[in-house]
Each structure stands twice: as C-alpha cells, then as structure tokens.
Amino acid sequence: MSRERSFNIIRTLVSMLAAILVAFVIIFFVSDQPVESIKVFLVSPFSSVRYLGNIVETAVPLIFSGLAMAVMFKANLFNLGGEGVFFIAGVAGSFVAIWPQLPPVVMPLVCIVVGALAGMLVMLVPGALKAKYGANEMVTSLMMNNILLGVGLYLLNNVMREPSSASLVSYKYRNNALLSKIIPGTRIHSGFLIALVCAVLVYLFMYKSKWGYEIRMTGDNAKYAAYSGINVAKVIVIVHLVAGAIAGMGGIIECIGMHKRFEWTALPGYGFDGAMIAMLAGNNPIGVIGASLFVSYLRIGADLVNRASDVPTEMIAILQSIIILLISAERFLHKYKQNWIEKGAKK
C-alpha cells in the first residue's frame, strides 16, 4: 500500500476520533453526570445482543444511501436526492406490500423491485436534465425531494391511510411482504444480507465493469473522458439510474424490514447521511459497510445517552458535520502527510 493511501486511512481515523472527542465535549457540557454518560456512549452499544442488533439494523439503510452517494461522488455528481427517493420508493413499495396477494419470498422481492424502479424513475429527472442540458443536479434533486415528499404524503393521506388509526399511517402490510428476521433476539432482517450483496455488486460494477470504468474516468476528468470517446451524457444517466435503484431498494427495505406499515411523515434524512458515509468510506463500496456500522454505532450510543440523561440525539448532526469537514479538508494534517511521504521515499 502506498504511503499516500495509508495516510488517507490515518486521516479518516483521526477524523472519526475527533468526532468522538467532540461528542465527549458536548456530553461534558450538557449532561448532568458526564463521566457516566461518556461511558454509556462508548461502551453500552456493545453491552447486549439487542444493542448490537440495533447497530446492524440501523446500518442497513445507511449502507444503501452510502452506496448510492458513493456512485454519485465517484462520477463527481453532487445529487442529494437520496432523501426523496427513499421516501417515494417506500410509498411505491408499500402499495405492493399492502394490496396484492403474492406468495412468500416472491412478495418482498416484488416490493423491492417496485421500490428500485420508483427510485430509478425519480432519479431520471435530475439525471436527464443534467446529462442533456447541464442543469445543476444538486438544486434540481433538492427540489425533487420536497416535491416527492408532497406527492408521497398526498398518496399516504388519500389512498393508503388507515382510517381507524389516530396517527398518519398506512394500512398494515401483508405478513408475506415482511422481510424475515435472521438473528434471534434482534430485529436484524434479511435486508442486511441484501445490503451486503449490494455493496459487493456495486464494487464489481464500479471496478470491474466497462461502465464502472467510464464512470470513474468521467468523475476524474469529464473533459478528458469525453475527448477519449466516453459518452459523458450516457454515463451521467447511468449513474443516476444506478443510484436511484440502490436508494429505492434502501427505502422499501427499511419499510418492510423494520416496520409493519408505512409510517414516515417527513423525509427520513438518509440522503444526507449517505453523503457523509460515502466520504468516510472514501467512496469505496466495501468501505461503505464499515462506515455505516461506525455511524450507526455513534447513533445507538447517542440514543442510549439520550435515554440515560438529557443529551438530545441530534448531537449526532454536529459530529457528522465535523467528520465531513475534516475528511474533505485536503490540507488537514498536510504537514504530517508531507513528512510521512518523504520518509517513505527516502527509504
């Protein structure tokens, strides 16, 4: 491994450590019994099978959104539409999960396919506008998020809503549609396995296929890629379709894996998490798994602290932005990087 690469890993680790230290500082100022809370934050997520299970099940949607964002970032596209895709794919898949009667195994598969298709369709809007006309994909995708939230809520309110329930939730999913639990004593569902398979597939797609090569070339230097005969517009559309499919799967898998009915009434927030996870992972699909587990460890820790004392879970947002800032800061630890690489060269 080159010294440059190992340095990037060190910098990532330092950023993670910095985030945890900031968590200490926040807990120290906010909590009534800081020492106890810090212990809860660090250790408790590992203290029982149930909490370990929580870490894994929280990581599942994060893996999907991290993968979608990693593909986007690799192509140098800043599309933040994962948010809206998660939501609308959840709505679309829920229609299948509620109404048609299908055999077991087939039913969740159909739900997931419908979710993925919905995601692809939705991502096609910013994708096509970017590919053909150069419209800024970040702004269009963020507008799409708000539009999809409105459309999804409209469908939930007017078509799927369970009238007898006081809160805004859909009818119950059919039992056949739910993903099976795979580890007793936890709520870890088969969606986790799908997420792992997905990560491997995305890795193969990005690093071993012709399209993946074209995507990476376009991301490195779009002008050069176009000059060397790569159809950049096609690449942009492919990236959006792939990312849409992944995020769509993530949305519906979260719904039929963790819930018994559709119960999101706001955007679930996974889109932005995906950006941070992709960065933690250095846009590497396999790394996304580890990054997702780390972030969900922080979340469960924050959640447990929140229960034990009075520190709001939103502390996580502060940690996440610090991670993004530090990891993307090229000059962060730059002096050490120089020395470290020079030392390697002298040997």
Partner 1 sequence: MSTFVKLIFSSDFFYSILRVTTPLLFASMGAVLSDVAGVPNIALEGIMLIAAFAGMYFSYLFNSALMGLLFAVLIAAAMAGVLAFFTLYYKTNIILGGIAINSLASGGTIFFLYLVAHDKGTSVALPSKVLPNVTIPFIQDIPVIGPIISGHNVLTYLAILAVIFTYFLLKRTSLGYHIRAVGEKKEAADSVGISVIRTQTIALVLSGVMCGFGGAFMSMGYVSWFSRDMVSGRGWIALAAEAMGMQGAIGTAATSFLFGIADALSNVVATLGWPSDLVKTIPYVATLAGLAIFSVRAYRRNRNA
Binding site for partner 1 (CB under 8 A): 30, 78, 80, 125, 129, 132-136, 138-140, 142-144, 146-147, 149-151, 153-154, 157-158, 272, 275-276, 279, 312, 314-318, 320-322, 324-325, 328-332
Nearer to partner 1 (CB atom), residue 82 or residue 257: 82
Q: What's the closest the beta carbon of residue 138 comes to partner 1, in angstroms?
A: 7
Q: How far is the CB of 314 from partner 1 (least distance, A)?
A: 4
Q: Nearest distance from residue 258's CB to partner 1, in Å?
A: 21
Neighbours of 238 (CB within 10 A): 21
Report the nearest approach of partner 1 to the CB of residue 302 (Å). Answer: 10
Q: Please report how close the Cβ of residue 67 comes to partner 1 at its closest, in angstroms.
A: 17
Please identify, using beta-carbon distances, which residue of 150 and 185 lies nearer to partner 1. Answer: 150
- Closest by CA to 253, choosing from 120, 148, 112, 123, is 112
Closest CA to 22 of 230, 318, 325, 327: 318
**Residue closest to 248 by CA, chosen among 126, 58, 56, 65:** 65
Closest approach, Cβ 141 to partner 1, in A, equals 10
> Residue 197 or residue 329: which is nearer to partner 1 going by CB?
329
Q: Which long-range contacts (CB under 8 A, 24 or more apart) does 37-40 make?
A: 37/305, 37/308, 37/309, 37/311, 40/301, 40/304, 40/305, 40/308, 40/309
Distance between start and end Cα atoms, the chain: 15
**Considering beta carbons, is residue 153 or 182 the nearer one to partner 1?**
153
Question: Are the C-beta atoms of 91 and 148 separated by less than 8 Å?
Answer: no
Q: Which is nearer to partner 1, 93 or 274 (CB)?
A: 274
Q: How far is the CB of 220 from partner 1 (least distance, A)?
A: 14
Instruction: Indicate the DSSP class of residue 177.
Output: G
Least distance in angstroms from the C-beta of 144 to partner 1:
7
134: left (phi over 0), alpha (psi -120 to 50) or beta: left
- The encoded tokens of residue 295 equal 């972030």
Tell me the H-state helices in 159-284. 191-208, 210-220, 222-227, 232-258, 270-280
Q: Say what angle helices 210-220 and 232-258 make with each other, to 10 degrees.
A: 110
What are the structure tokens assigned to 319, written together? 């940690």
Rounded CA separation 283/275 (Å): 9
Residue 158 vs 167, nearer CB to partner 1: 158
**Smaller CB separation from partner 1, 91 or 253:** 91
For partner 1, give the closer residue by CB, 53 or 84. 84
Nearer to partner 1, 114 or 142 (CB): 142
For residue 153, the minimal CB distance to partner 1 (Å) is 4
